[in-house]
Amino acid sequence: MPRLCKPAMSVPEHVITVEETLEFAAKAHAGKPQLPLALRLIRNTGVLKRHIVQPIEKTLVHPGFGERNRVYELESKKRCPAVIEQALANADLTVRDIDAIIYVSCTGFLMPSPTAWLINNMGFNFATRQLPIAQLGCAAGGAAINRAHDFCIAHPGSNVLIVSCELCSLCYQPSADDVGSLLSDGLFGDAVAAAVVRGVGGVGIELERNASYLIPNTEDWIYYAVEDTGFHFRLDRRVPGTMQPLAPVLRELAKDHSWDASKLDFYIIHAGGPRILDDLAKFLDVDREMFRHSAATLTEYGNIASAVVLDAARRLFEEDAPRPGAMGMIAGFGPGITAEMALGTWADDTPPRPLD
């Protein structure tokens, strides 16, 4: 069965704390009627700091959509290779072992996809399949794991590289003063993550089942308004309440696999905000501590979109390894409203160390 190996993760060098965020927001949007509410919501996100690709002073200035996309291209090409190399090392593979690359991002646009540049510049086989995913937002991390699972099942013995490059700070809109935009200015961070799904062997989460679900008629709850100045993030106030309709879907997925969603050994959940984790813990009847990896990602990096599930998974690997056979769930949520869900067990083929 395909296995998700330990992800690699990198964040930019520029750091902005929640205190600095509140200070900059108060200055940049002074006098806006929605500002007091937005500041209160930012304080309640649980995000203590975020990492961004440019100094905050430069981020606050909008140079135009074209220039921002140019920065996205420059920064993604600069930052992705090292993370990919680490992910390959974690999986004990090389570029020549990869059969497909899934590249996910909702914060910049390039055509041809960055997959083409990676193949040309990192030594991947020219027959490597390319699957860029640009419009699933935060759900794309879960979707990438699921599509990698599907590919490995369809092509036994194959290995799939997942790359997530989310430079959310390049979507900042100085003129936007609605609550959703102001909240996002204090919530989203930048990151690059990568992971390999091995078709055979390795240490990690053996992927057993996956599913997708779309909450009907919620297309306008999370979306981009594409304007001359670029992507304008729109967030409906109903989004934080989406765990109530999605929890039964997660329960049903586990039930169909003869598992109990309330009694799993680990959970890798997209942490769009603290209420997502609070509500999911409530509706699944799970101790909130079980979501500690996702919560740590939110606290230390903010919402890093599709990279959240990969970073939360990395934290699981770096904690004391689960026992072989430990059962877990991966779930990402994003525009649509879309849920991408997976079930898997911990597997370790590492030979035991000889006794002294």
Residue 250 CB partners (closer than 8 Å, separation 6+):
261, 280, 284, 329, 331, 339, 341
What residue type is 157 in one-letter code?
G
Query: Of 269, 143, 192, which is closest to residue 8 (Cα–Cα)?
Result: 192
DSSP assignment, residue 265?
Answer: S
At residue 351, the 3 state secondary structure works out as: coil
For 347, half-sphere exposure in the C-beta direction (CA atoms, 13 angstrom radius) is 19
Q: How far apart are CA 114 and CA 272, in angstroms?
A: 25
At residue 328, the 3 state secondary structure works out as: strand
Neighbours of 123 (CB within 10 A): 11
Dihedral over alpha carbons 132, 137, 142, 145 (to 10 degrees): 10
What is the full DSSP assignment across 86-108? HHHHHTT--GGG--EEEEE-SS-
The answer to whether 138 is a known catalytic residue is yes
β-sheet bridge partners, residue 43: none
Neighbours of 147 (CB within 10 A): 21
Catalytic position from the list 138, 152, 165, 171:
138
Is residue 305 within 8 Å of 333, Cβ to Cβ?
no
Report H helices in the chain.
18-28, 35-43, 56-59, 65-90, 114-122, 140-154, 179-185, 243-256, 274-284, 292-301, 308-318
Catalytic site positions: 138
